[in-house]
Chains A and B, each alone.
Chain A
Amino acid sequence: MTREETLERIRDLQARVQELRRASDNPAIERTMQLLDLYCHMARWELGDVRAMNPEAEAR
């Protein structure tokens, strides 16, 4: 899989994870989705898709 294809899938996954995090009322699921969101952020940096340092902190 190319870098661009990988990135496209990660961005799509991250958007869905963020949506589920917002929608869930289960603490365990919310925490797991928060971690998944973080790992998507890391994966994007690993592939040179550089944006915020820590998006969650910067959104506050």
Chain B
Amino acid sequence: MNLYKPEVEAQKFWNPYTQTMPRAELDRLHLRKLQTAIEYAYARSPMYRKLLDRHKVKPEQIRTMDDFVKRLPFVDKKEILDAQAVGPPFGDALAIPEDFFHQRFATSGSTGVPLHIPLTYHSAELWGESWVYVYWAAGLRARHTFYFPFNWGIFAAFWSAYMGVRRLGATVVSGGGLDSKARLRQVEQYRPDVMLATPTYALYLGETAREIGMDLTKTSISHVIVAGEPGGSIPATRHAIEELWGARCYELYGIAELGPTNPGCPLREGVHLCEDWYHALVVDESGNPVPYGDVGEHIVTSYIQDGQPLIKYRTHDLVRWTDRPCGCGTTWLYYPGGVLGRTDHMIIVKGVNVYPSAVEALLHRVAGLSEHYEVHVDRDLTNDFVTVRAEARPDVDTARYAGLGRDAEGVFKSVIGVSIDVTVEPPGSLPRYELKAKRFFDHRPAAHRWQLAGRGDA
């Protein structure tokens, strides 16, 4: 469908007004949005009213960005869960009558109780819009067709991506209720342009394609958009996906309860903050913002969540932020490398920070290893130590496994300067995942994980 006028379709940005706004002006606009969101939450959400009262701060006292940074407490998932427990499913976290709900989501609760996520029609539209920035940057328009190889459950996952396709005005093909082989046959039948998947599943479909003798580079897919786990900003993973599909790979980084916070940069080395609908800080363990260029925990405020406000919300994701001008032309904050890891996955080996994303990137340097791996972290008296289980590619003889492990250990030692034991296992040894892959296994005592403490941590 030729929905947009040619001169509009040729626009580089979805919303040129804000995507090219000078930083100082963007920050002034953020302050107005933050004040609006805080007033809204305080007036309507019992949880936020109690939280701000406990910290002795009123919305009208947030007059500057400094006030926002220093006076307003962080909010963690546990507080939302506690507030929801007051009157399940949403309890005191809610800011709006339930008849405004358009859709309800929940997290899996695999690490505890499920977190319930209410969306109004308004917030659903804006979750969708937040995807459109990456679609548009990738050159995708209303005439394109998007393939969703998922079962549509209660997890937010790729629902918001679907909302984004609707917002863009493009076409959706659903692969729900099918196995991987049937999905690939559907791709042949409907000839979609875009595949949306986790990096793991995009690569796993390659194994399925081999089983049925299908060459994915010969399909209609010209774009693969990945989300749900790091990978799109890890060059080796991105290249593996691009080589497998004969397509360009883009990324979006989002968080279930917040939505699609960070569309991938069209230059594909990282992600931007979607500053139309989100504000972010990146803080150290004391809760202070780190300078641009440094790594810290991503703290996000949503302007979208009118059902269940999230202000200064701890994502537990580690990112490096920068305000340096990006080659793509936007002024929005840039996170090179995307998500570098989780705060609770932070590994320190003999004083060296090791990010799981770096482990993945380095494993790809060893020819003969597949994209399937697990990182196991434990701790002795003084240090974290890491072991990696990696799968060999199907064409590698078992006699070479030990040598491949030594090669990988050598790469880790030479690049990040630490010793990591690597065991290489036969293809199919590790579990496969349709959505997020579980690759990180932490066996350390809780006291040795990242702790955000100090000012304002509620």
Contact = CB atoms under 8 A, between A and B. Distances in A.
B278 to A, nearest CB: 13
A23 interface: no
Nearest to A41: B122
Given A46-B15, A48-B29, A53 B126 contact: no
B276 interface: yes
Interface string A1-23: 00100000000000000000000
Interface stretch (B30-38, B350-358, B362-370, B446-454): B30-38
Interface string B102-143: 000000000000000000111001100100000000000000
B96 A57 contact: yes
A54 B33 contact: no
Given A57-B97, A60-B97, A50 B122 contact: no
Main secondary structure of the interface of B (DSSP, over half): helix
Interface in B4-61: 15, 17-18, 29, 32-33, 36-37, 40, 44
A29 interface: no
Contacts of A35: 121
B40 A48 contact: no
A42 to B, nearest CB: 7
Given A38-B122, A57-B96, A46 B306 contact: no
B29 A50 contact: yes
Contacts of B32: 50
B17 A50 contact: no
- Interface hub of A3, A52, A57 (most chain B Cβ within 10 A): A57
Interface of B: 15, 17-18, 29, 32-33, 36-37, 40, 44, 96-97, 100, 120-122, 125-126, 129, 276, 303, 306
